[in-house]
Amino acid sequence: MRLFFIRHAESVDNVAGLLAGSRDASLTAHGVIQAQRLAEHLASRLDSIGPVRRIFSSPMQRTLRTAQAVADVVVREHHDSQRADAASTLNIVKVDELREKHMGALEGSKWGVKPPGDKAESFSDDMETREHMSARAVKFIDEHLVPALEPHFACDRSSNRATARGSILVVSHGIFLNIFLRSLLERFAPAELQRLSNSEAPQPKGLVSFSNTGFVEVVVSARDASATDETDPVRLPGRVLALHLQVVAINSVGHLQGLKKTRARRLETPNAEGASLRAAAKAQRDAIIPIQTCAARSGSRARRGRLGG
């Protein structure tokens, strides 16, 4: 089985460069295309990865619209191919624990712009802590992810089950997905966590980088419950959930290859409103980060586009 941890498509706050944790920003037109590209990519892999069995999503509209795009295309592909395991519907499970980090009083402010003087500390007082986000991640793992995996991997003490086919999708936000990935690997695959932590190109303030619709792909397989080379298995009533996790893709954005952002046409409206619209269009163009260079870019613009929101 495979797990896909997906960051939402581009939102209007991403383009504007705003801190957007609990702000419910909508997708841009470009973001809608990104989500469609992601959906088509995952649907094209159904023969090799098996059916999408579950989609979990943050309740924010930027994640829900990304998740819905995937669900619609996957169900259509299932129907068109007449697969035996085809699903007539694929419900999206909204989970509050998957929401982005709450930025407190800094919600809606510009990335990288600190309040003057002593205000910086006071503005961060009501910002969500890493510990609180970690608690949310653990709750999601215990109450949603483990129960979703259990039917495919739980076994009695004397048996072991082969790798199950299919996938589970988690659609969330850049900062939270880093916390969640760390929490998951700490429990099931500490060696993988160590490998990512020792990467030659560590990401700023996070374990990995997440571009819009970028995803981390994890292969999940059963392991011998008596093995001692990893963390203890999850013990369920009369059963054991013993898993081996391997991260096989980080910030995968191959589905966006060749996708260019459409430039807004010059607006000729000769009034104040027209000038404002032209300024907004210019700001949107200036915020574009070319896909070909996103892995090499650094600085506040690259970080805001790839990690947060």
Q: How many domains does the chain have?
A: 1
| Catalytic residue selected from 77, 78, 97, 100 | 100
Task: Check the annotation: does 7 bind a ligand.
Answer: yes
Tell me the per-residue pLDDT of 101-150, one tens digit each, with 9 for 90 and over. Answer: 998 888 777 876 766 555 555 556 688 999 999 999 999 999 999 999 98
Token digits for 215? 């995803």
Residues 233, 188: Cα–Cα separation, whole Å: 8
Which of 230, 235, 243 has the alpha carbon at shortest distance from 157?
235
Task: Check the annotation: does 225 bind a ligand.
Answer: no
**Mean pLDDT of the chain, nearest integer:** 78
Task: Check the annotation: does 10 bind a ligand.
Answer: yes
Task: Check the annotation: does 12 bind a ligand.
Answer: yes
Tell me the per-residue pLDDT of 259-288, one tens digit each, with 9 for 90 and over. Answer: 988 654 433 334 443 444 344 444 444 443
| Catalytic residue selected from 8, 173, 244, 255 | 8
Task: Check the annotation: does 122 bind a ligand.
Answer: no
Q: Is 186 a catalytic residue?
A: no
Of 34 and 280, the one with more pLDDT: 34
> Where are the alpha helices (H) located in 170-250, listed in sequence order?
174-188, 190-197
Give the per-residue pLDDT at 231.
57
CATH number for 188:
3.40.50.1240
Task: Check the annotation: does 79 bind a ligand.
Answer: no
Tell me the per-residue pLDDT of 233-246, one tens digit each, with 9 for 90 and over. Answer: 555 544 557 788 99
Task: Check the annotation: does 11 bind a ligand.
Answer: yes
161: pLDDT strictly greater than 60:
no
Handedness of CA 266, 269, 271, 277 (dihedral sign): negative
DSSP string for 241-253: E-EEEEEEEEEE-
Which of 205, 179, 204, 174 has the alpha carbon at shortest distance from 193?
179
Domain range for residue 36? 2-117+124-306
Q: Is 100 a catalytic residue?
A: yes
pTM of the model: 0.78
Tell me the per-residue pLDDT of 200-257, one tens digit each, with 9 for 90 and over. Answer: 554 556 789 999 999 999 999 887 655 555 555 555 544 557 788 999 999 999 999 9
